[in-house]
Amino acid sequence: MAEEIKSAKCVYVIGHSGAGKSTICNAYLGSATFPTGLSSDGKGITKEEQRVIAKNGITIVDTTGDDIMSKDNSIVDVTNLTRKIRKDDKIIIVIVLRIGRIHPDDNDLINDIIKKECQYYLILNKTGRIASAKCDFEKIFKLELLQMPSDFLIIVEDYDMSDRDNTMFSDEDQLKIREFIDKF
């Protein structure tokens, strides 16, 4: 297992509960390091921020869905999260795109990160096969976001992974995720 201390390069993986943050982190690490699956309480599997240093020295930070919400869970509020993030750290926002639209809560999250003057990258997880083939994602981003992501990655939904604990993406998707994160 990778060391659990702070490295020079840090990647925060943020998003709402159930977006697939821990599964993305596991794909990058190449093993089921962080628990994944269906939450029994509706609040997500990850209950506190987890950090692991990958073999290449990058610290992967798996955040909770609660890290991006106000104390009463009524609105998106990234103030506490962005206090931790250093200027050179990278932020990956994981969202689930449905019927060619960004959910208003995800839109609020992305725009709140932009207001904090943080550079961000976007992973559209669990995207339907038809949407991934037909959607003009750059057009969607321009219409709905204050600023384009530095880069984005689309992961097509794998229905074999649904409703199972500690599953891993296909080798092909794991490679896509590693290449995506390694390039920045």
More confident residue, 178 or 113: 178
| Residue 106 predicted with pLDDT over 70 | yes
Q: Name the 3-class secondary structure at 97.
A: coil
Q: What is the mean pLDDT of residues 113-124?
A: 87
CA atoms of 160 and 126, how far apart (whole Å) = 12
Q: With contact defined as beta carbons under 8 Å apart, do 169 and 127 qualify?
A: no
| Residue 4 predicted with pLDDT over 50 | no
The CATH number fitting domain 9-182, selected from 3.30.310.50, 3.30.420.10, 3.20.20.70, 3.40.50.300 = 3.40.50.300
**Strand extents, DSSP E, the chain:** 9-14, 50-53, 58-62, 90-96, 120-127, 152-156
So what's the pLDDT on residue 35?
72
How would residue 54 be classed by pLDDT, with cut points 50, 70 and 90?
Answer: very high
Q: With contact defined as beta carbons under 8 Å apart, do 173 and 28 qualify?
A: no
So what's the pLDDT on residue 77?
72
pLDDT tens per residue across span 74-84: 666 777 788 88
pTM recorded for the entire structure: 0.86
Number of other CB atoms surrounding residue 48 within 10 Å: 9
Q: With contact defined as beta carbons under 8 Å apart, do 122 and 153 qualify?
A: yes
So what's the pLDDT on residue 3?
44
Residues ≥6 apart with Cβ < 8 Å to 91: 11, 12, 14, 85, 113, 118, 119, 120, 121
More confident residue, 160 or 118: 118
- Taking CA atoms, 79 is separated from 18, 23, 43, 70, in Å, by 21, 25, 20, 9
